[in-house]
Amino acid sequence: MTGLGERPQEKVGPLELIAFLCELAMLVLLAMTGVAATDSLLGRVLATVALPAAAAGIWSVWMAPTSRRRLANPSRLYAQVTLFAVVGTTVGLFLGWLVGAAFFVVSAVVFAELCRRERRTA
């Protein structure tokens, strides 16, 4: 039973765990990209902080489950896949195309399946 203003507990299964790991991987890969992006120490520090912070800010406003401005599906899925594509491309440029492509494919497939399940139960 939930109290007034509380959200019901959502079930967390293997797919939700993988989705969370994809979110964490996005932040780690962006930090690694920041380190590889420039030779300047100041540039590295700024990029290492700014890239994950920008992605986390976008995610927290429009995609996080507790956000008041969370996009509804399928718009949320489109935004997620776009963010994953931008991150995958950026990571691919600095860390190797295989790393960027693997991140994009796994993340897009996992979040597409979550969207499909959400729409099926709605």
pLDDT at 5: 58
Looking at the predicted structure, is the pLDDT value of residue 3 above 80?
A: no
**pLDDT tens digits, one per residue of 91-119:** 999 999 999 999 999 999 999 999 999 99
Instruction: Confirm whether 8 is domain-assigned.
Output: no
Q: 35: buried, middle or exposed (CB in 10 Å: 19+, 13-18, 0-12)?
A: middle
Instruction: Confirm whether 27 is domain-assigned.
Output: yes
Supply the range of the domain harboring residue 90: 14-121
What does the buried/exposed string (b/e) look like for 45-56 if buried means 16 or more CB atoms within 10 Å of the residue's CB? eebbeebbeebe
Q: State how many domains the chain has.
A: 1
Whole-structure pTM value:
0.88
Instruction: Confirm whether 7 is domain-assigned.
Output: no
Mean pLDDT rounded to a whole number for the chain: 93
Q: Is residue 38 within 8 Å of 44, Cβ to Cβ? A: yes
